[in-house]
């Protein structure tokens, strides 16, 4: 026999003999001419074709080290899980593949929900909304700046006072009020 038997290979990879027989009949194992299993080639083939989330063992193959995950990615996974009310990984404790996959699926669902809301017209472009609000605020300010010139003569006539003095006082008070409104107000 050139390779190993089904039982030997099953013990080698930690699967049942039935699973090895199914893989053999499906052509997912590399066989020698005598029907025995080429263990090294079969391991490589299985490693290439197997989704890590579907395996029982989460450890890396012998001699191969896993790449460390950047802390920013781990914190992003934690933030996503916290937003959904799920248990987030402890800082520095590492994230399991299942947690990362769950966070990935949650993010994909959120992205699809946002895309759908945009298609329905429930969301607007942020830059467009910002420019619209800025334009409306400027128009409001300009209307207030021009208001004293329009009403000064009418108010002066009602109060029987000089029009120029009334306009000057109104402009001073309107400008002071607009400056007060322009000051940033932070309310936490």
Domain ranges in the chain are 6-54, 71-119, 126-182
- Across 70-74, average pLDDT: 69
Contact between 101 and 53 (Cβ < 8 Å): yes
- Across 48-77, average pLDDT: 66
Mean pLDDT lowest among 77-91, 112-126, 166-180:
77-91
In this prediction, residue 160 carries a pLDDT of 92
Residue 60 has pLDDT above 80, yes or no: no
In this prediction, residue 104 carries a pLDDT of 80
- What percent of the chain stands above pLDDT 70? 83
- Across 71-75, average pLDDT: 70
Residue 147 has pLDDT above 60, yes or no: yes
3-state SS class at 30:
coil
In this prediction, residue 185 carries a pLDDT of 75
- CB under 8 Å to 119, separation ≥6 — which residues? none
pLDDT digits (tens, 9 = 90+) for 23-55: 999 888 999 999 899 999 999 888 887 777 776
Q: ∠ CA 129-131-137 to the nearest 5 degrees?
A: 100
- Encode 34-64: b = buried (16+ Cβ within 10 Å), e = exposed: eebbbbeebbebbeeeeeeeeeeeeeeeeee
In this prediction, residue 97 carries a pLDDT of 74
In this prediction, residue 118 carries a pLDDT of 86
pLDDT digits (tens, 9 = 90+) for 8-31: 999 998 889 999 999 999 888 999
In this prediction, residue 59 carries a pLDDT of 52
Scanning the structure block, which residue is given the tokens 């290979």? Answer: 9
3-state SS class at 184:
coil
- Across 2-10, average pLDDT: 92
| Residue 140: half-sphere exposure toward Cβ, Cα within 13 Å | 9
In this prediction, residue 170 carries a pLDDT of 94
DSSP for residue 59: S
Mean pLDDT lowest among 68-82, 85-99, 121-135, 160-174:
85-99
Which pTM was predicted? 0.39
CB count, 10 Å around CB of 110? 13
Q: What is the residue-wise DSSP string for 71-109? A: HHHHHHHHHHHHHTTPPPPPTTT---HHHHHHHHHHHHH
CB count, 10 Å around CB of 99? 19
DSSP for residue 61: P
């Amino acid at each position: 026999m050139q390779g190993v038997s089904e039982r030997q290979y099953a013990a080698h990879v930690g699967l049942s003999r039935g699973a090895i027989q199914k893989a053999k009949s499906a052509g997912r194992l590399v066989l020698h001419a005598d029907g025995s299993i080429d263990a090294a080639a079969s391991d490589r083939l299985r490693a290439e074709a197997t989704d890590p989330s579907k395996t029982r063992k989460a450890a890396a193959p012998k001699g191969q080290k896993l790449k460390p995950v950047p802390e920013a990615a781990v914190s992003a996974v934690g933030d996503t899980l916290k937003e959904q009310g799920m248990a987030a990984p402890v800082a520095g404790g590492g994230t399991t593949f299942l947690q990362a996959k769950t966070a990935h699926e949650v993010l994909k669902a959120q992205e699809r929900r946002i895309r759908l809301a945009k298609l329905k017209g429930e969301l607007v472009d942020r830059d467009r909304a910002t420019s619209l609000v800025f334009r409306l605020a400027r128009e409001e300010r300009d209307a207030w700046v021009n208001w004293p010139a329009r009403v000064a003569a009418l108010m002066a006539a009602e109060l029987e006072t000089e029009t120029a003095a009334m306009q000057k006082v109104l402009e001073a008070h309107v400008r002071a009020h607009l400056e007060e409104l322009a000051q940033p107000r932070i309310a936490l």
